[in-house]
Structure formats: structure tokens, C-alpha cells
Amino acid sequence: MKVVISGYGKMGHIVEEVLREKGIEVALATEDVRAVPPALAAECVCIDFTTPDAFRANYPFIAERFKAAVIGTTGWDDLLDAVCLTFENRRTPMIYTSNFSVGVNAFFAAVVRTCQVLKGIGYVPAIEEVHHIHKLDAPSGTAKTLAGLVEKVLGVRPEITSRREGEVPGTHTVEFRCGCDRLVFTHEAFSRRGFAEGAVLAAQMTEKLEGAHNFLDLIL
């Protein structure tokens, strides 16, 4: 497998580090994915950690030119149907998620199971997320995913509180409260490394796929 890293900021550098540790070839790391030669793109998985605006502009190109794609960029939820349809029509494997951390996806599963147990007995859910001051979207994609999972089971959309502080990699807390007690679930990222590990795992998964897939659906 060969990889092109689209977006060579902090996440791009960590993805490159993980790829090299695993012996996976990094063909190119670039801030301009459109400059990747077509012949090279056709051989490579594109791992995208750019910005919402950049991904909005680039996704048709990625779907058309690349062998497969892993999309770690968030903040484009309103385009989800269009993006998935584009990759489906091209039959290009694409894996997306609001958070590629395997630990976060286990967190998602725990929250869903808790909602199933608490359904119909009066618990009120709430979500808080804290991230570094450089994060462009608020609420985070992970918080939106959590809210959607809770709403799907409990039938109520939880309130989301967002905070931006220092260099916090990402902390998400889900609370369920009633008059009798309170349950709290928290996932705290210590670094961005977990996101990169999951993205590289997803890139390896694309070899057996076709079209668009949510990472959560693939690992649960």
C-alpha cells in the first residue's frame, strides 16, 4: 500500500510517523492534493486531514483520481450525502468518521448501549466537548456524532457545550441525569496519535472495500 497525505500540518506529520513505523510507503505529503500526478494518485490511498473548506473543494478530485480515501477532516456534515454519492458513483473506497480514534469508537458503543438500558425511564442526556483553540469547528464532529447516537435511541437531542482551551487534543463527556442519580462517560485524548493510528488502520481496510463507509460501522 502507498499513501498520499493531504494536509501536512500537525496531524499530517503524525500520520506520516505512524505510516513509516508500520513500514507503509508515504508517496507524498502535500498541502495541495490537486497537484498530485494522476498516475501516482491512482496507486495511492489519500489520507485527508485538511480543513473543511479544503475538503469541500477537493473531494470530487479525490474520488476521481485516488485508489481510495480516508477522510479525517470534519466540519462538512451538510455535504455528507453528496460526498458519499460521489465516492459511490466512482466506486472509490472511502472511509470517513468524526473521530478515527479506536478508543472513541469504543466510547460510542458504550454510550449507545447505555442509552438502550436507560430508554424510557427519565434520564436527561447532555454532552460537553473541550478542544484546543485552533480547532475550526464547534461543536466538534465527535460531539455531533454522540448527539446523533443518543437521539437515535432516546428520541431526544442532547444539549452540547463546547469549550476551546490551550492545546487540549480532545475531551468528550456524556452525562445522563435523573432525580435519583447521574452517569458520566468521558473519553480524553492524551495526544493526536490515536487519531493517526485509526486513520492508518482505516487506510489498510480500504483494500477490501468499495464506495463510502463510516469507520464506526466497520469496527463494531
Per DSSP, the three-state class of 125 is strand
Phi, psi of 161 (to 5 degrees): -110, 130
Of 22, 119, 135, 187, catalytic: 135
Q: Which residues of 135-149 are buried (b: 16+ CB within 10 A; e: fewer)?
A: bebebbbbbbbbbeb
Quick check: is 187 catalytic?
A: no
Catalytic residue among 67, 131, 187, 213: 131
3-state secondary structure at position 212: strand
Q: Report the C-alpha gap between 181 and 167 in whole angstroms.
A: 33
Q: How many Å apart are CA 88 and CA 69, to the nearest integer?
A: 12
Q: Which residues are tagged catalytic?
A: 131, 135
